[in-house]
Structure 1
Amino acid sequence: MPRQPRILPQQGFLHVMCRGNNRRKLFRTPTDKRKYRSLLIEFKQEDKIQIHHYCLMGNHHHLMLSLGQESNLPRFMKRVNLQYFFYYRYHRSYSGHLWQGRYKSKLILNYPYLLQCGKYIELNPVSVGLTVSPKDYEFSSYRFYAFGQKDDLIDINPYYLELNTDQAARQLNYQDLFVDEIAEKNIKI
Structure 2
Amino acid sequence: MARKLRVWYPGAMFHITSRGNRRAAIFYDENDQRAYFDILEQARIYYPFHLHAYCLMTNHIHLQLETINHHPKDIMKMLNSRYALYFNKRHRLVGHVFQGRYGAELIETIDYELEVSRYIHLNPLEAEMVNKPEEYRWSSYRAYVLGEENPHVRTERILGHFKEPREVGYRRFVEGEV
SS at match of 1:123: helix
User: CA, structure 1 residues 156+38, in 2 after alignment: closer, same or farther (shift >3 Å)?
Assistant: same
2:91 equivalent in structure 1: 92
Count of aligned pairs between the two proteins: 177
Give the drift of 1:39.
1.3
Give the gaps of 5 or more residues in structure 1.
182-189
TM-score, normalising length from structure 1? 0.87
The equivalent residue for 2:152 is 153
Aligned to 2:131: 132
Root-mean-square deviation (CA, aligned residues, Å) is 1.6
Displacement of 1:5: 3.3
Deviations 1:138-159 (A, max 9, x none): 0001000101101111023513
CA distance in 1, matches of 2:111, 2:34: 30
Q: Which residue of the partner structure matches residue 32 of structure 2?
A: 32
Partner of 2:67: 67
User: Which residue number in structure 2 is paired with residue 112 of structure 1?
Assistant: 111
Which moves more between the two structures, 38-47 or 77-86?
Answer: 38-47
Partner of 1:56: 56
Q: CA deviation at 1:93?
A: 0.8
- The equivalent residue for 1:17 is 17
Partner of residue 174 from structure 1, selected from 166, 170, 173: 170
Deviation readout 1:3-38 (Å, 9 max, x if unpaired): 333332333211000001110110111211111122
Alpha carbons of 1:113 and 1:157: their partners in 2 closer, same or farther (altered >3 Å)? Answer: farther
* Change in 2 beyond 3 A, CA 1:178/1:4: closer
Q: Secondary structure at the match of 2:46?
A: coil
Residue in structure 2 matched with residue 83 of structure 1 by the alignment: 82
Please state if 1:8 is matched with 2:4. Answer: no
The answer to whether the 8 A contact 1:54-1:140 is kept is yes
CA contact (8 A) 1:125 1:131 kept: yes
Aligned 8 A contact 1:111 1:159 in 2: no
Judge conservation of contact 2:52–2:158 (CA < 8 Å) in 1: no
Contact 1:146 1:171 in 2 (8 A): yes
Q: State the distance in 1 between where 2:38 and 2:60 align.
A: 16
What is the aligned-residue identity percentage? 31
Contact 1:112 1:159 in 2 (8 A): no
State how far apart, in whole Å, the 1-side matches of 2:138 and 2:20 are: 17
- Check conservation: 2:33, 2:56, Cα contact below 8 A: yes
